[in-house]
Chain A
Amino acid sequence: MQKLAEIVAGVSNGTLSASAVLEEHLKRISTRESEINAFNLVTADQARLDAAKIDADIKADKKVGALAGVPIALKDNMCTRGVETTCSSKILQGWKPPYDATVVTKLRNAGAVIVGKTNLDEFAMGSSTENSAFGPTKNPHDITRVPGGSSGGSAAAVAAGFAAASLGSDTGGSIRQPAALCGVVGVKPTYGTVSRYGLVAFASSLDQIGPFTSDVRDAATLLEVISGHDPMDSTSIPQSALSLVSVLDQGVKGMRIGRVTDLPEGCEPDVLARLEAAFDALRSAGATIVDVKLPSLQYCLTAYYLIAPAEASSNLARYDGVRYGNRVDAADLNAMYAATREAGFGEEVKRRIMLGTYALSAGYYDAYYGKALKVRRLISDDFARAYKDVDTILTPTSPSTAFKFGSKTDNPLAMYLCDVFTIPTNLAGHPAMSVPFGVGADKMPVGIQVLASTLGEQAMFKVAAELERAS
């Protein structure tokens, strides 16, 4: 399978045709997609037109973009003009946005070829893609196991070679955890680095778009393209795009890497063994390992499961059957709302809407949502103290490797624990990424998470590149 960098180089210098590259990927899709179910929609016809256009531009000696001819898959919660965008929910089935998300515009301008919309846990709520209304995505390494979630389709698409890269969204780990479980690279950038305009909101203060790729360099290239200020997103940081590829070969000599001494329990020993191996690799490459404490880490999961559902309860209230999406008619307005939302939303989405509504209700706000916001400040303070002593922090991405279908679906709390290492980053608005680093006892991929402080992407990518070289 070709990497993104190879495709761009080959297409740009004329040794590869974008159309041929696309056909290879479409062929893999036609061979394996029926068992993997990575996509809600494959846009083969439009992709062929787009690839042909790139090839024509190359022939005409026109300047092509940084992603010329790269087949890319989009999580199906990013708006694509005229192309169905469902969030893997029945309530949005058939909805075609009249506009492109900012990231989609950026990809198109850079010459990327969009191959389809990938499956997810409904409205990005879940850690296994089992909450999709359109059936789960399978892990390409073992189809009896989950790909992780919520961006399971995007992770599987890259792992299966359906696309050279993909975009996901990460609210509590939804890029990093499936990246780890599928053995690919996944990055959640600093909050505000990539525009959220056109990303269907789950929890607005936590959501962030980021790339899936098969290696660190490709992730850096893709993130450079999609980052940068967007006046359409008020929370977008007013700064130009990130510069990352240039630092990848700088090594980690002299860098200080944090080891969290009060990491929450519950991590599988084979995963912890890989974490130790990662520290060893970095130490041998010249980095110093420094112990850090993050005492508020233990409260993050609880805080997250108040903040994210609270915002979701508000963000998902617009699916009322009035203007777009599916409507179930009933005798009066309130009955129509109830029937529409009863039929349109799945169990997990309903659970979180209820949780969030409760957390924000008069008389409960201070005890739940208000407290959660305090934890959010505490973990930010913890990180701020830690980053005085270290450049990056290393943790496992997920407490375990990919688990079997159905093993956690009856126990929401067990499912929520999948995100115990990834959630604190979202609460703090920091960047973090998952890099494949060997396999566990079950021969399934293990991901190591590299965390950094706000806009610390360069340090994070240096460490990730070093881990990749060592793996």
Chain B
Amino acid sequence: MSEVPVLPNDWQLIVGLEVHVELATKTKMFSASANRFGDEPNTNIDPVTLGLPGALPVLNQHAIELAMRIGLALNCKVQPCTFHRKNYFYPDLPKAYQITQYDHPLNVDGHLMLPGDVRIGIERAHLEEDTGKSTHFGGSSGRIHGSDYSLLDYNRAGVPLVEIVSRPDIRTSEQARQYVAELRSILLAVGASDAKMEEGSMRCDVNVSVHKPGTPFGTRCEIKNVNSIRSVGRAIDYESRRQVDLIESGGTIRQETRHWDDSTGRTETLRTKEDADDYRYFLEPDLVPLVPDPAWIEAVRAALPVLPAARRKALAELCGVDKDGESAIVVVERGQDDYVRAVISAGGDARRAVIYVQQAFAEQGAAPKVPAKDLAALTILERDAKVTSTQAKTLLTDLIESGGGDVVAMANKRGFEALDTAALEAMVDAAIAAEPGAWQKYCDGEEKALGALVGAIMKSSKGKADGKAATALLQARRG
């Protein structure tokens, strides 16, 4: 975990996030064209996508279902809703309006829990359609202004989106990163989106303001183009310092949209509130209100998988690890928690099982090749001190390479046998005798001196000694 920069002089950070996710539907929000990333430009188009005169939108039922899954997974109320038109001119917006939800969105009033039981409110999660993609050529900024020409790809136009709007409940950039990571794992778990930030199927707009506790929130700036979880943190850290510095030097914050530049690590003004479009929202007359049948909502709710937070909690309880710790998070994110359960069912040591899987199974996916019983046998060998933890790691690598096997035979083949306690005690005596200076320093409280002592033990045992056990013995001797 990186260091969390703290704002000076009691300034408090206030962050809210707007996250857009493309839904994993086969077809578009309002037409039968394919919803597929990476195809040849302008191949997944039709009269509706292009906004041709006379074309009309028809709602994609699967998009509604995926949006409900998101809402229900975020503890939202799913309600009857309507669609509005958001009017503005831009070449990648074919109808010159985006169909979105305004005052009556599908999902409202939910929340998401972060590590440490921090509750982040979800104001709404509404359905809307994506725009096409513009690429500008010539000029320096890569934006339309000053460019020589632009190319338009409407494959993305009309792709179904859900916009998830948090309440301004986030107080640190670390929480913001955790929020995005947790949201992403939920989206993946419910199968609503592939949530690839690098491909743009999950995109974050970050609203940042600063204030002093006990005073109203400051003016906020919205930061766009934040395309990775790391950038979310960096952009917030930069922007909050910018705002504090500006206020403390006598300036005032303008409400504006700012652009995050990942290469310079800075935000810059994109447009001010005065330049902002008046979107002239009004009820989309080409669609009728969407009133999800309560039975449908309940069926979607019943079909939801167990969500990552609950899976982490269950796994942590089973294995005796922290539910917000790295092993629970990583193993659940990879979907390997069922595998860990299988290892435990096969008689494996629970804590070692989850840690082995976390550390060594990054490439393995949800169904690792190593049979659960083999990994279970390895955890038992180590637990019973038949092999040292260092040896266990070597055997784990062997297991993964061979795709399973008899770990006892593997240990024998490598000539591994753990030293018994009496032999280890003798080696500790020898090490203290050999390194009196180090022992004295260690006894005086210099923890670093431990390294020389353990090193001596490992050397005299030719690596067979268990480093942890040796450390424990040295600590016991020191008293």
Contacts and interface: CB of A to CB of B under 8 A. Distances in A.
Interface of A: 78-79, 85, 87, 92, 95, 97-99, 101, 196-201, 203-205, 231-235, 310-311, 313-314, 317-318, 320, 322-324, 332-333, 337, 357, 360-362, 365, 369
B434 interface: no
A333 B144 contact: yes
A99 B52 CA distance: 10
Instruction: Determine the main DSSP class of B at the interface with A.
Output: loop
Contacts of B145: 332
27 contacts: A101-B54, A197-B55, A197-B56, A199-B54, A200-B54, A201-B54, A203-B285, A204-B286, A232-B58, A234-B58, A234-B287, A234-B288, A235-B286, A310-B282, A313-B280, A314-B96, A314-B97, A314-B280, A314-B282, A317-B89, A318-B95, A320-B91, A322-B91, A357-B280, A360-B280, A362-B278, A369-B282
B57 interface: yes
B85 interface: yes
Contacts of B97: 314, 317
A1 to B, nearest CB: 31
The 5 closest A-B pairs by CB, nearest first: A317-B96, A205-B285, A360-B280, A204-B285, A200-B53
Contact of A323 (B50, B285, B286, B287): B50
A349 to B, nearest CB: 14
Nearest to A362: B278
A314 B91 contact: no
User: Which of B47, B145, B281 has the most chain A CB within a 10 Å cutoff?
Assistant: B47
B282 A360 contact: yes
Q: How large is the interface on B (under 10, 10 to 19, 20 to 34, 35 or more residues)?
A: 20 to 34
Contacts of B94: 318, 323
A320 B56 contact: no
B360 interface: no
Contact of B52 (A97, A205, A313): A97
Interface string B27-65: 000000000000000000001001111111111000000
Contact of A320 (B85, B96, B281, B288): B96
A201 B53 contact: yes
Contacts of B91: 320, 322, 333
A311 B285 contact: yes
Contacts of A313: 87, 280
A85 B53 CA distance: 9
B152 interface: yes
B145 to A, nearest CB: 8
A129 B422 CA distance: 108
Given A199-B54, A234-B287, A317-B96, A337 B282 contact: no
Given A99-B47, A235-B288, A314 B53 contact: no
Contacts of B285: 203-205, 235, 311
Interface string B159-172: 00000000000000
A374 to B, nearest CB: 14
A314 B284 CA distance: 10
A323 B59 CA distance: 24
Interface string B53-95: 1111111000000000000000000000000010101010011
B139 to A, nearest CB: 11
A338 B87 CA distance: 16
Nearest to A363: B278
A357 B57 CA distance: 22
Nearest to A85: B53
Contacts of A365: 280, 282
A323 B51 CA distance: 9
